């Protein structure tokens, strides 16, 4: 089943979730590693890879927004009001991060005088040319948000595990494709 139902995630949303999750975690790991490297060909290759994967994540986020219109997500499974609100907040933060992090990275690169290309297939236009002040602001936003997102991911994974191990509900299983009986 491609589409989501009232209680289950369809294949499109599940695939988008897991591919985005791998990209998101990979981007943070590469980002942290590459920024500590001395200037070298490896460092520049990793920057190019980081930018290409970041554009990929942004494209998946755009597809996700289109797909949400076509096929809304099932409602969260929860009996706890605080956790319900927290779940929605974390989801909102992820959505915002998947839009704002690629955009701040793009601005950071072009204001620093660097191109942003997608695996050398196409290059993004330069919206704002070289500008040291904007470069530093974008760098601060991109770096701080990246670090904060590590805590958000840990919270999200802890939430998924709590649903699975403590509440023993279908939250994690349905994201893994084990569909629940529709009621």
Toward ligand HEM, which CB reaches closer, 26 or 143?
26
- In terms of C-beta density within 10 A (0-12 exposed, 13-18 middle, 19 or more buried), how is residue 149 classed? buried
Toward ligand HEM, which CB reaches closer, 108 or 170?
170
Toward ligand HEM, which CB reaches closer, 107 or 175?
175
Toward ligand HEM, which CB reaches closer, 43 or 84?
84
- Min separation Cβ 12 and ligand HEM, Å: 10
- Min separation Cβ 42 and ligand HEM, Å: 25
- Min separation Cβ 133 and ligand HEM, Å: 30
Toward ligand HEM, which CB reaches closer, 91 or 178?
91
- Min separation Cβ 73 and ligand HEM, Å: 5
- Min separation Cβ 150 and ligand HEM, Å: 10
User: 135: which residues sit within 8 A by CB, 6+ positions away?
Assistant: 107, 108, 111, 112
d(CA 87, CA 182): 22
Q: How far is CA 178 from CA 14, 33, 166, in A?
A: 11, 35, 18
d(CA 129, CA 89): 34
Q: Please, what's the b/e burial string for 75-97 (b: 16 or more CB within 10 A of its CB; e: otherwise)? A: eeebeeeeeeeebeeeeebbeeb
Q: Which residues bind ligand HEM (CB under 6 A)?
A: 13, 17, 20-21, 24-25, 73, 76, 87, 91, 94-95, 98, 153, 156-157, 160, 171-172, 175
The DSSP H or E segment spanning 123 is: strand 122-123
């Amino acid at each position: 089943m491609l589409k989501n139902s009232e209680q289950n995630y369809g294949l499109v949303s599940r695939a988008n979730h897991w591919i985005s999750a791998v990209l998101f975690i990979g981007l943070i790991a590469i980002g942290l590693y590459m920024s500590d490297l001395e200037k070298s060909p490896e460092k520049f290759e990793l920057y190019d890879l980081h930018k290409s994967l970041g554009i990929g994540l942004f494209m998946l986020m755009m597809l996700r927004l289109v797909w949400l219109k076509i096929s809304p997500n099932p409602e969260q499974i929860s009996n706890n009001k605080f956790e319900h609100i927290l779940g929605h907040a974390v989801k909102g933060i992820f959505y915002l991060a998947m839009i704002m992090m690629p955009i701040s990275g793009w601005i950071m690169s072009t204001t620093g005088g660097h191109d942003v290309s997608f695996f050398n297939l196409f290059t993004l236009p330069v919206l704002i040319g070289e500008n040291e002040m904007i470069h530093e602001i974008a760098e601060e936003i991109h770096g701080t948000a990246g670090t904060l997102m590590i805590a958000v991911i840990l919270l999200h994974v802890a939430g998924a595990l709590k649903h699975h191990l403590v509440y023993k509900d279908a939250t994690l299983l349905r994201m893994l494709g084990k569909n629940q009986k529709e009621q």
